[in-house]
Amino acid sequence: MSKVAVVTGGTRGIGEAISIALKEAGYVVAANYAGNDERAQAFSERTGIKAFKWDVGDYEACQAGIKQVEDVLGPIDLVVNNAGITRDGMLHKLAVDQWHEVINVNLNSMYYMTKPIIDGMRERGHGRIINISSINGQKGQMGQTNYSAAKAGVIGFTKAMAQETARKGITVNCICPGYIDTDMVAAVPEKVLESIIAGIPVGRLGQADEIAAMVAFLASDKAAFVTGSVMTVNGGQYIANG
């Protein structure tokens, strides 16, 4: 019987690549999305992966969405918390709703998505939770106090959850991508993008498939001894201690 995976923000960008990689690894994948129905439908038609719509920043919506996935596909074995947003601005200009929206979607969603599935994983004695943080959660980024704080929180959440669940056969790990060639990065002004690439030792942006490959490894049985880890995938732009 195939294992079931949920990927939040799973119909575009890094999330799309993760959904496809997990399907290729043998998972039955549920790709969550928040708002772009047309993009989600096109994704499902192209990949054969079912898309499920709910807001990861809403706890009740997460509970209902997870129940729907389990009703359709079965118990969830893997959650990839990938969904995230940016609302950039220097702190002295940052509105309070810009702060709360980013913290809610990028950090509170870790609880909202994990709480409804953790009892089932503990009872079955197996599970995988993979959280997508960011290089900017490790080093910080000017104009992103909200985003950097949320993504740093994801790292702390990962390390604490790993300790809580290790003896139950559940691994919890975190991936910190650097600058990846996605729609979000493509929207950056050309001169800014050039300066970003100049600061990456390997001399290029990362590819979504490279993040997806790391997720697929952490989701596999070969990674059963890996938990509480922070995987830095940024082309050498920031060398982290862990």
Q: Of 189, 184, 179, 191, give the one whose Cα is nearest residue 236.
A: 179
Of 27, 112, 147, 179, catalytic:
147
Strand residue runs (E) in 109-180? 127-132, 170-177
String of DSSP letters for 181-224: SSHHHHTS-HHHHHHHHHTSTTSS-B-HHHHHHHHHHHHSGGGT
N-terminal to C-terminal alpha carbon distance within the chain: 36
What one-letter code names the amino acid at 132?
I
The angle at the Cα of 18, spanning 224 to 184, to the nearest 5 degrees, equals 135
Q: Facing residues of 139 across strands?
A: none
The candidate with the shortest Cα–Cα distance to 231, out of 183, 191, 173, 189, is 173
Active-site annotation holds for 179: no
Q: Give me the torsion for CA of 208, 213, 219, 224, rounded to 10°.
A: -140
**3-class state of residue 227 by DSSP:** coil
Q: 204 and 148 in contact (C-beta within 8 Å)?
A: no
Distance CA 208, CA 223 (A): 20
Q: Which residues are catalytic?
A: 147
